């Protein structure tokens, strides 16, 4: 690892910690605040991949993951007004989802590297975001996995409601996951703008 990778590592760690805290707070009825911060992780990964290559991107993901999870576990021991800043289930779910989704993102990006500039970041982010949402919300909020942290009451997430208010009746966390996934897909498209602009500034020959 070189010093030049440090901004990517710090950005990744900050995104993980911020998202782990913000995912516990609702934005409206179907979204959590974490839905707006976590997709930035894919932008960081894709920029590192395009500029420095897949090996460097994996190093940034692994080190950023380790730092972020460590900070999240520390946060699980710090209690705020409504309990731990980061619950154990969220820390575990976030860690597994993050590592799986980011490594898949890197693999997909690498396969499409030689195509049009937008194809690799868009396709890799769409695949990675879908995996991340499925893994995280299942581990963090599914009633079938309460044995992970029996003392953490997530019964609110199991409340049966119509999917996004209009579909079949499902646990609330499923609606949160679907809404989160839709936001991630939208942000994947928007992220192409800063991806292109940053790339032009840092490595014009790659843009």
Q: What is the pLDDT of residues 138-150, one digit of tens each?
A: 998 888 888 888 8
Closest-CA residue to 12 (of 50, 52, 57, 53): 57
Q: How confident is the model at residue 67 (pLDDT cuts 50, 70, 90)?
A: confident
Give 77's pLDDT tier (boundaries 50, 70, 90).
low
178: how many CB neighbours lie within 10 A of its CB?
A: 17
**Token duo for residue 123:** 């396709």
Q: Which 3 state secondary structure label does DSSP give 150?
A: coil
Question: Is it the case that residue 108 has pLDDT exceeding 90?
Answer: yes
Residue-averaged pLDDT of the chain: 84
3-state secondary structure 152-189: CCCHHHHCEEEHHHCCCEEEHHHHHHHHHHHHHHHHHH
Torsion of CA 179, 49, 202, 16, to 10 degrees: 40
Q: What percent of the chain has pLDDT over 70?
A: 88
Q: What is the pLDDT of residues 117-130, one digit of tens each?
A: 999 999 999 999 99
Domain housing 62: 3-206
Q: Decide if pLDDT at 175 tops 70.
A: yes
Domain count, the chain: 1
Q: Whole-angstrom Cα distance, residue 203 to residue 9?
A: 19
Split at pLDDT 50, 70, 90, the class of 81 is: low
Residue 86 burial by CB count (10 A; 0-12/13-18/19+): exposed, middle or buried?
buried
Q: CA-CA distance, 107 to 99, in Å (whole number)?
A: 12
CATH number at residue 113: 1.10.1760
Give the count of beta carbons closer than 10 Å to the beta carbon of residue 193: 9
């Amino acid at each position: 690892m070189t010093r030049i990778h440090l901004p990517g590592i710090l950005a990744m760690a900050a995104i993980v910690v911020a998202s782990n805290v913000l995912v516990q707070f609702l934005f409206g009825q179907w979204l959590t605040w974490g839905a707006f911060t976590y997709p930035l992780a894919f932008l960081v990964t894709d920029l590192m991949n395009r500029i420095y290559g897949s090996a460097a991107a994996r190093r940034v993901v692994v080190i950023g993951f380790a730092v972020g999870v460590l900070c999240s576990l520390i946060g699980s021991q710090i209690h705020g007004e409504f309990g731990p800043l980061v619950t154990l289930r969220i820390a575990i779910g976030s860690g597994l989802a993050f590592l799986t989704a980011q490594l898949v993102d890197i693999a997909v990006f690498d396969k499409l590297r030689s195509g049009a500039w937008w194809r690799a970041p868009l396709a890799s982010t769409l695949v990675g975001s879908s995996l991340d949402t499925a893994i995280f919300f299942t581990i963090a909020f599914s009633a079938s996995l309460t044995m992970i942290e029996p003392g953490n009451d997530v019964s609110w997430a199991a409340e049966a409601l119509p999917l996004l208010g209009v579909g079949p009746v499902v646990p609330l966390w499923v609606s949160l996951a679907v809404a989160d996934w839709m936001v991630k897909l939208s942000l994947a498209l928007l992220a192409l703008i800063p991806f292109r602009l940053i790339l032009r500034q840092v490595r014009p020959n790659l843009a």
